[in-house]
Amino acid sequence: MIEPRWTRWATAPVPRYTSYPTAAEFQDRFPRATLERWASALDREAPISVYVHIPFCETLCWYCGCHTSVPNGYDRVARYLTRLHQEIDLWAKRLAPHGGARHVHFGGGSPNMLAADDFFALMEHLREAFAVHEESEIAVELDPRSLTDEKIAAMAASGVTRASVGVQTLSPRVQEAINRLQPRDMIEKALGDLRAAGIDAINFDLMYGLPHQSEADIIEAADFTADLRVDRVAVFGYAHVPWFAKHQAAIDASALPGLKARFAQAEACAAALEARGYARIGLDHFAKPVDPLARAAADGTLRRNFQGYTTDPCQTIIGIGNSAISTFREGFAQAAKDMREWTDAVEAGGLPVARGRAISDDDRLRARAIEALMCNLEVDLETVCAEMGAPAHGLDEALTRARPMAEAGLCEISGRVITVPEAARMLVRPVAAAFDAYRDAPQEGRHARAV
Ligand code: SF4
């Protein structure tokens, strides 16, 4: 149960900390020359990761905060693919020699909007351009409503190893309120077909805090997931930010559960999954104890990047496509969200960067502390400073910022170790914000609430 004294932090806007500095701190008109310099300075031996953004969906789910649109026919998708292939060539030409790609992630939108042959050709091109290793993880986000046998076969033939399936809720009433009608037998069929094709590492995304949702709904979804022996589960809270995601205005805000109910739903889902043998990981993930994500959480090697919790240790992530974010040791670079702008940049023959941020040693130090807390619910300031070559007291100001939260029971401070207790796990983000040097900027309208 959420304690009344936590309300102040639970209702305050706070980043999800999938990066630090967060995308809200990126600067407009980021110089392409800087990105090209980063791209040409990779470690020759170090592996890289590749993220490919497919910004199309068959219909829009009203809760969605992703950068996507409905193409109304395949022509727009086909034109986008042509530019995507061009961008792959641009990157391949400019990237310094590297250790090859170990992870490829297709996100969106719905990557299964691509026709079977187009997906296969895209993956072939990526393999050739980025020297994708034979044993790489190739993950795809999937919408079961637009999945066909042919597309599954193409993904299997392309070497896809992991599928992340959007489930969200099983309740017909909630599905109607979010414009995502998806009967349970459709999900079961998708899962059966994926496994039959050899794609047997499966993630489900579930949600709480949706309009008309109840604890019983979310428990039903958790049990359904466990019955299907799904390996990993992400349980996201619906963030109502219609000023940012315009189509969320279609959601009836008066039907949204309040703070207490949201907290209770998240905890009920966690209890149901834990009762079925799942390990609880970080803020909002669950995995079977034998799954690599659970093993990484147990041995302290879990990471967090723009795709959320991951086992991927790569420092360099090449983001390809409209709005995609690339990560380098030196900073972040994001392609234009505006399709015309991104298209023009690719056609002009330069890496398509619109926004970005160079990161300082101080950013890197804080990023490591935030990542440790988000992954392990604990951070030893001394260890992080030593690991990052910073002065031993380089993060001590965070202790002062965390003190009021410690007094409220959101975290514990012992010496220079900050720990988030199990009961406050869902509020790890406000505690992580104690390390955020940009928190003094106005946060309203930039991020969703903590719970
Ligand atoms: S939730 Fe997924 S399927 Fe729905 S609109 Fe967003 S990206 Fe598309």
Domains and CATH numbers, the chain: 1-13+360-451 (1.10.10.920), 22-320 (3.80.30.20)
Q: In a 10 Å sphere around its CB, with 0-12 CB exposed, 13-18 middle and 19+ buried, how is residue 316 labelled?
A: buried
pLDDT at res. 362 = 96
pLDDT at res. 402 = 96
- pLDDT score of 442 more than 60: no
pLDDT at res. 444 = 59
- Where b means 16+ CB within 10 Å and e means fewer, 100-112 reads bbbbbbbbbbbbb
Mean pLDDT of 107-114: 96
pLDDT at res. 72 = 87
Q: What is the pLDDT of residues 350-376, one digit of tens each?
A: 999 999 999 999 999 999 999 999 999
Question: Nearest residue CA, atom 6 of ligand 1?
Answer: 64
User: Cα of 447 to ligand 1 centre, how many Å?
Assistant: 19
User: Cα of 60 to ligand 1 centre, how many Å?
Assistant: 6
- pLDDT score of 446 more than 70: no
**Candidate of 143, 167, 175 to mutate for ligand 1, largest count of ligand atoms within 8 Å of Cβ:** 143
pLDDT at res. 448 = 75
Question: Which residues are CB-contacts of 140 (< 8 A; sequence separation ≥ 6)?
Answer: 105, 106, 111, 112, 155, 160, 162, 163, 164
Which pLDDT band holds residue 441 (cuts at 50, 70, 90)? low
Q: Which atom of ligand 1 is nearest to the CA of 168?
A: 1
Q: Token digits for 101?
A: 């790609």
Question: Nearest residue CA, atom 4 of ligand 1?
Answer: 61
Closest CA to 86 of 444, 386, 351: 351
Residue 170 has φ and ψ, to the nearest 5°, of -100, -10
Q: What is the pLDDT of residues 14-61, one digit of tens each?
A: 999 999 999 999 999 999 999 999 999 999 999 999 999 999 999 999
Q: What is the pLDDT of residues 253-262, one digit of tens each?
A: 999 999 999 9
Better-predicted residue by pLDDT, 413 or 4: 413
Q: What is the pLDDT of residues 205-216, one digit of tens each?
A: 999 999 999 999
Within 10 angstroms of residue 406's Cβ, the number of other Cβ atoms is: 17
**CB-defined site of ligand 1, < 6 Å:** 57, 60-61, 64, 66, 68, 108-110, 143, 166
Q: How far apart are the C-alpha atoms of 229 and 223, rounded to whole Å? A: 10
Which pLDDT band holds residue 445 (cuts at 50, 70, 90)? low
In the chain, what percentage of residues exceed pLDDT 90? Answer: 91
Q: Token digits for 316?
A: 């360099």
- pLDDT score of 447 more than 80: no
User: Cα of 380 to ligand 1 centre, how many Å?
Assistant: 38
Q: How far apart are the C-alpha atoms of 384 and 366, rounded to whole Å? A: 9
Better-predicted residue by pLDDT, 223 or 66: 223
- pLDDT score of 443 more than 70: no
Which pLDDT band holds residue 132 (cuts at 50, 70, 90)? very high
- pLDDT score of 449 more than 90: no
Q: What is the DSSP letter of 38?
A: H
- Model-level pTM? 0.95
Q: What is the pLDDT of residues 280-336, one digit of tens each?
A: 999 999 999 999 999 999 999 999 999 899 999 999 999 999 999 999 999 999 999
